[in-house]
Amino acid sequence: MCMHDIDLYAQIGDLKEVDYRNTLAIATMIELLIDKGLIQRKEFSQMAQKLDNMTIEELKFLRSR
């Protein structure tokens, strides 16, 4: 194993930590919005499913409006 491989594994480990922190922040915001009655869990779930089913072109159009 060379130094480049070790550096690559370290970068992957860092990405996992960043992904975890980002996921935690998003989940926290969602729960706070639900707790405050600003959104409903079902409403959030439906929108997430809708966005997940959209094509890249549809998402780009949605962002450009």
Of 53, 51, 26, 29, nearest to 39 (Cα)?
29
Q: What is the mean pLDDT of residues 16-34?
A: 92
pLDDT of residue 1: 63
% of the chain at pLDDT higher than 70? 98
Q: Which residues contact 39 (CB under 8 A, 6 or more apart)?
A: 30, 33
Exposure of 37 by Cβ count < 10 A (0-12 exposed, 13-18 middle, 19+ buried)?
exposed
% of the chain at pLDDT higher than 90? 58
Residue ranges of the domains in the chain?
3-63
Distance CA 14, CA 17 (A): 5
pLDDT of residue 63: 87
Between these two residues, 45 and 62, which has the higher pLDDT value? Answer: 45
